[in-house]
Amino acid sequence: MTSPKPNRPRARAARRLSPSAKVGLAPGALIHLGERKTEQAAISLIEYGEAEIAEHQFKSLAASQAYQPTLPVLWLNVHGLHEPEVMAEIGRRFNLHPLVLEDILNTNQRPKIDDYGDYLFMVARFFEIDGKSNQIDSDQVSLILGRNFVLTFQERPSGRFDPVRERLRQDRGQIRKLGADYLAYSLLDAIVDRYFTILESIGERTEELEDIMLERPRPGSLQTVHQLKRETLTLRRSIWPLREVINSLTRADDRFFRPETRPYLRDIYDHTVHAIESLEANRDVIAGMLDIYLSAVSNRVNQEVRALTVVAIIFMPATLISGIFGMNFKTMPLLDLPTGFLIAIGMMATVATTLSIIFWRRRWLE
């Protein structure tokens, strides 16, 4: 008899290491914190000059150790951050500080920038939309910019940097002429551009939900509102710090970004401000949806209570008349007449019809 398969949340929890695993360890300890999103780390290298480009894929750590680059600019990309020995070797080759490696392995970092003298260390986040649940998911992206190299570290292959690779292969634009700083700009631009796709998706879902709220709120509408609020809060925690990161790059000295590249950085900054404005507009609409939901529910309850009240008022005179003729008196008007029953029914129908006409003219029966 086979044992039942674990459900997905338990399986993902087994692949995740919490920050408590580092309690008591020395600063710079290489321990992966976060969810393991790929089975094996993959290392790819692109080195290029104005007239030449070469690409390499390293299937083992030994192969990467034996390779020596020959072209002026180098871009090393790593998919999968759960193998500390790979990070240790990269740190040795590029003389990276242990705290940098520690931050790369900790996938719960907020966007930031650190200047280590010979290189800049930046952290940002990628966002994706789950096609099944229509919810957003995020991955950490770490970027190191040196004078002639760029290092990127991703939790899993996402394909978001593929357009940059194609521009390098086909030598489109100025990417192979302006050096490593322009490459770093291109990668940051790819990250920021992705935010607009996510914000557009959230905006469409917000408009659809707003239409539902105004017409007739459904039982699951309130849960959808809270889900959108959580997603916008997650985006806000990433976009606002990234704005400060890019702003500091535009004001930094010329050690890493040349004057030719600074206008492009200012363009990214403008895009980030635009993304923040769109995000805040969506947050305001989502925040107002709770009031719309409560108002719509309250209005619907009022309409139902009014309808019940109208029905009760229409039949109340009939109840009164039947109660009067049902009293135990020996002598009462109309009791001895052969048409007394029809007269009582006619009185009930006349009063009910009169009240119905009054309520209809006042639009209480709509």
Phi-psi region of 159 (alpha: psi -120 to 50; beta: other; left: phi over 0): left
What is the domain count for the chain?
2
| pLDDT one-digit tens code per residue, 149-169 | 999 999 888 788 889 988 888
Q: Any idea what the CATH number is for the domain that residue 31 is in?
A: 3.30.460.20
107/184 same-domain check: yes
Which pLDDT belongs to residue 13? 42
Neighbours of 58 (CB within 10 A): 19
Q: pLDDT band for position 345 (50/70/90)?
A: confident
204/99 same-domain check: yes
What's the mean pLDDT in 316-323?
76
144/279 same-domain check: yes
Distances (CA, A) of 9 to 4, 16, 128, 134: 14, 11, 19, 18
What's the mean pLDDT in 176-202?
89
The sheet with strand 53-58 has its strands ordered as 53-58, 42-48, 73-79, 149-154, 136-145, 120-129, 112-115
Report if residue 204 sits inside a domain: yes
Give the domain-ending residue among 258, 274, 295.
Answer: 295
| pLDDT one-digit tens code per residue, 111-140 | 999 999 899 999 999 888 876 767 788 889
pTM: 0.74
Q: pLDDT band for position 3 (50/70/90)?
A: very low
261/180 same-domain check: yes
- How far is 107 from 123, CA to CA, in rounded Å? 10
289/357 same-domain check: no
Angle, helices 262-325 vs 221-251, to 10°: value is: 160
Give the domain-ending residue among 295, 323, 345.
Answer: 295
Q: Tell me the three state secondary structure of residue 56.
A: strand
Report if residue 196 sits inside a domain: yes
329/270 same-domain check: no
For residue 222, the enclosing domain spans: 17-295
4 or 364, higher pLDDT: 364
Q: pLDDT band for position 12 (50/70/90)?
A: very low
Which pLDDT belongs to residue 8? 45
Give the domain-ending residue among 259, 278, 295.
Answer: 295
- How far is 150 from 93, CA to CA, in rounded Å? 13
pLDDT of residue 343 exceeding 70, the answer is yes
282/309 same-domain check: no
Mean pLDDT over each residue of the chain, to the nearest integer? 81
Which pLDDT belongs to residue 123? 93
- How far is 98 from 154, CA to CA, in rounded Å? 18
- What tokens were used for 182? 């322009």
338/286 same-domain check: no
pLDDT of residue 86 exceeding 50, the answer is yes
Which pLDDT belongs to residue 11? 43
94/232 same-domain check: yes
